Amino acid sequence: MKAARKTRAPRPRPKPCRRPPAVPRVARPTSNRAAIVRRMWRTADAQVRAVEARLKADDQAPDERERDARVLSVLSRTLRELTALDAAQAATKKSKPDDDADGAPFDLDELRRALQSRLAGLRDGDAGQDDCGASA
């Protein structure tokens, strides 16, 4: 007699690897500030048009209308801030002198040494002399 063969349960087949869904190509990021601002204006314009179209349809639920109102509020605030930043940047470019007008030292360590020297002179009673020894 033949021994009874034990049958094993078939191995589950591995699921085929599926490729992730294709992601649409996004425009490569740009570091040009003017280009970014232009894109934001275009995006804002498209969103305003979409909200207007939904409002014209007049079949929105109250919560959807509230959402659209919030979107418009955020858009207007963002565009207002962009405009203010552009104005501030333009004003800074016009009024910024090429050299340092107040003559403040750029090296903080140098400033600290000079202050330390003057304070030591004041403490020692040499208030009338600067750090070079000349009378002020």
Q: Is residue 54 one of the residues assigned to a domain?
A: yes
Say if CB 36 and CB 23 are below 8 A apart: no
Question: What distance in Å separates the CA atoms of residue 128 and residue 118, rounded to the nearest whole number?
Answer: 10
Position 27 scores a pLDDT of 62
Which domain, by its residues, includes 39?
Answer: 33-88
Return the structure tokens found at 133.
């020894």
Contact 129, 135 (CB under 8 A): yes
Would you say the pTM of this structure is higher than 0.75? no
Would residue 103 count as lying in a domain?
Answer: no
Which pLDDT band, with edges at 50, 70 and 90, does 57 fall under? confident
Query: What's the CA gap between 7 and 30, in Å, rounded?
Result: 63
Total count of domains within the chain: 1
pLDDT in tens, 66-115: 888 898 899 889 888 888 887 887 788 777 555 555 666 577 888 888 88
